[in-house]
Amino acid sequence: MEGNMKKLGLDFYSQAPLAVAQQLIGCYLVREQEEGQIIGRINEVEAYDSAIDKASHAYGGKRTIRNEPLFQAGGIAHVYFIYGMHNCLNVVTGQADDATAVLVRGIEIVQGIELAARNRYAKPLAELTKPQVKNLSNGPGKLCRALAVDRTFDYEPLLGDRLYICEQIDAHKKQVEKIIASKRIGIDYAEEAVDFLWRFTDE
């Protein structure tokens, strides 16, 4: 790891999802591939808490093979497939059986953008259009493709070597000016949980 890149520890991930979500803004998601390293600054997340949140896949204690990672202790990844085309990366939080998580919705690539471009579009950065560059990693499915994260990362320890999160990286220091809380996206089915201000972005 370059410079000061200290991985977030289990104490961090054992917190409640709302705390983790807000603290993840401005942290760095690191993907280690054989071809190189990609680093993305986290700028958009959503929190999910199955105890009170009808948008959660585990609301009401619903436990399935698909959502089983949510019931593990915080500090692992949960990657699920939606709409038959997109992977979504979640950070499992809290204690075992809490079934809480934070969905990583957007990152800004700060290192390894050439590799991220090839992962996402199968062509070099120089051949991308401006809209393609803009949309490289500004969505949950997009960032998973840019980082080459798929279902094999389900249960992946976030203290491991393939995928991890650092609070800060000396070479890419950038202050979080303001964290904005808003309604989450794409959960119209979730009744009163639609109005929870559990989406967090970096202004």
Query: Can you tell me the mean pLDDT for 139-152?
Result: 98
Do the beta carbons of residue 144 and residue 85 sit within 8 Å?
no
**Confidence at residue 2, expressed as pLDDT on a 0 to 100 scale:** 52
> What is the C-alpha separation between 140 and 134, in angstroms, rounded?
14
**Confidence at residue 1, expressed as pLDDT on a 0 to 100 scale:** 44
Range of the structural domain that residue 91 is part of: 5-202
Query: Can you tell me the mean pLDDT for 156-180?
Result: 86
Each residue's pLDDT tens digit, 77-135:
999 998 878 999 999 999 999 999 999 999 999 999 999 999 999 999 999 999 999 99
> Considering the chain, what percentage of its residues have pLDDT values greater than 90?
90
CATH number of the domain residue 46 falls in: 3.10.300.10
Q: Which token pair is 47?
A: 């929190």
**Confidence at residue 202, expressed as pLDDT on a 0 to 100 scale:** 93
Confidence at 28, pLDDT banded by 50, 70, 90: very high
Side chain identity, residue 13: Y
> What is the C-alpha separation between 139 and 66, in angstroms, rounded?
21
**Residue with tokens 């109005």, as numbered in its chain:** 195
Helices H / strands E in the chain, number of each: 5, 9
**Confidence at residue 171, expressed as pLDDT on a 0 to 100 scale:** 60
Mean pLDDT of the chain: 94
Do the beta carbons of residue 140 and residue 103 sit within 8 Å?
yes
> What is the C-alpha separation between 42 and 182, in angstroms, rounded?
16
**Confidence at residue 128, expressed as pLDDT on a 0 to 100 scale:** 98
Q: Please, what sign has the CA dihedral across residues 163, 156, 93, 69?
A: positive
> What is the C-alpha separation between 166 and 28, in angstroms, rounded?
5
Each residue's pLDDT tens digit, 38-49:
999 999 999 999
> What is the C-alpha separation between 121 and 118, in angstroms, rounded?
5
> Considering the chain, what percentage of its residues have pLDDT values greater than 70?
96
91: β partners: 77, 102
Do the beta carbons of residue 137 and residue 107 sit within 8 Å?
yes
Q: What is the pTM of this model?
A: 0.94
Q: Residues 6 or more apart from 70 whose CB is under 8 A from it?
A: 50, 56, 57, 58, 78, 90, 92, 99, 100, 101
Nearest CA to 183 among 169, 168, 199, 172? 199
Tell me the H-state helices in 102-203: 113-121, 130-134, 140-146
* 171/138: higher pLDDT: 138
The number of distinct structural domains making up the chain is 1
